Copies of this chain bind each other. A is one copy, B any other.
Amino acid sequence: MSNPTRRLAEFCAHLRYEDIPEPVVARCEDLFLDWLGSALAGASQHPIAAFARHARQMGPADGPSEIVIDGSSSSPYFAAFVNAAASHVVEQDDLHNSSVLHPATVVFPAALAAAQDKGVSGRELIAASVAGYEAGIRVGEFLGRSHYRVFHTTGTAGTLAAAVATARILGVDTDTMIHTLGSAGTQAAGLWAFLRDGADSKQLHTAKAAGNGLLAAYMSADGLTGAQAIFDGPQGMAAGMSSDADATRLDADLGTRWALAETSFKFHASCRHTHPAADALLAAMTEHGLKADDIATVTTRVHQGAIDVLGAVDVPHTIHQAKFSMGTVLGLIAVHGVAGLTEFDQLALTDPAVAAFRDKVTMTLDDEVDAAYPARWLGRVDIETTDGRRFSGAIDEPKGDPGNTLSRDELEAKFTRLVRFADAADDTETRALIDRVWALRDIESVSALRAAG
């Protein structure tokens, strides 16, 4: 077995709440609230009801773990499964830049389900979640850009993130954590093929990553053994699913670099690859006093990953597809100034002004932007106006990035918008849920969030 694998396992198995710096703990609570809002906002969206029905058909009638979208309960496996599907569908959940991983939607469903099953403290839930973020982000970085071109890293690396968080809740030792990584890695799956059809697989990927990761942890704790060299062995993840894997990323700076704190909140309700250009366009339009009608063309200069993921969507046919359409996102920004859930729901497919603006937008690969990616997501747009003027817009940290993050007030406002969008809770419960998350570290035994709210 490689040393990086063992060191990663050892760190994750032994990470104590007391070892985590206070700002990282606080950011973990921020990310948890942001995740809960995404899950509640997803409750009414297609295809989430199908996941809930599947859990009812294949799982038990109730259990120790909460399905947050409706306050019902199930076994840990199916609670994680439904909550993970729900928290990824409105494209408002967090993203870690250099790994291109959405950690919250896979880590928190698994960790919460296991925490409620075992009745551990809020501090244990936080420590387990931090372990899941640190591991999952490093696995995503290890798999590299070649992996992300074909695989949905949140499905693949996400399985290991969920597994580590769950195993930390279960209190496993280093050897069992290695088995957990092995059994999670050999289940890792998720292809981008669905994107060009606007199919529902993105939710299936997060549901299965959370569920399969949780399964790997529970079954490893019960004696199931896994591969020792799942990452860099000759028949491991790198051999099968990457051509630029770097095993030194697996255990780099454990305990000194806190990758969780690098995670970005999503401000716009679209694919994160559209955010740098959206912010750059907004900045340029504000600076130069431009309106949508003033603009003849917008060229967004992007990294290759954006072209790989967004290139397939030309004219979106579903709201979810519209979130992957650069032209639609910039159209909402240019015409309405906002690309939030409500704008996508009510305007993205039907507003003729947005459609007209969409056709003005092109993407082109930019060497500088591409070289900075994925560590930094640079926004660069070139604008030509109808009267022949040319402007450029540039931002180096999209809104929500660690250097341009959301305050607790902004996070509460976003949470409230998400809950109201889905009519998921009344104002009293919304407030109670926020307060409960801000007090997460003081909970002695994690129980249902909604009943307790």
Contacts and interface: CB of A to CB of B under 8 A. Distances in A.
B54 A219 contact: yes
Contact of A57 (B189, B194, B205, B218): B218
B194 A227 contact: yes
A191 B234 CA distance: 10
Interface stretch (A160-168, A178-186, A324-332): A178-186
A226 B240 contact: no
Interface in A191-227: 191-201, 204-205, 208, 212, 215, 218-219, 222-227
Contact of A182 (B53, B149, B194): B194
A126 B248 CA distance: 50
A187, A191, A226: residue with the most chain B Cβ atoms closer than 10 Å: A191
Copies in the complex: 2
B186 A188 contact: no
Contact of A226 (B151, B194, B237): B194
A193 B185 contact: yes
A-side interface mostly: helix
Interface stretch (A74-82, A391-399, A416-424, A437-445): A74-82
B226 A200 contact: yes
B179 A199 contact: yes
A191 B240 contact: yes
A372 interface: no
Given A199-B179, A201-B182, A193 B54 contact: no
Nearest to A218: B54
B224 A50 contact: yes
A254 interface: no
B193 A227 contact: yes
Closest 4 CB pairs of A and B: A193-B227, A192-B235, A58-B77, A189-B189
Interface of A: 46-47, 50-51, 53-54, 57-61, 75-78, 149-151, 155, 179, 182-183, 185-201, 204-205, 208, 212, 215, 218-219, 222-230, 233-237, 239-241, 308
Given A53-B222, A185-B193, A194-B225, 7 more contacts: A50-B222, A54-B218, A182-B197, A195-B235, A197-B225, A199-B226, A201-B227
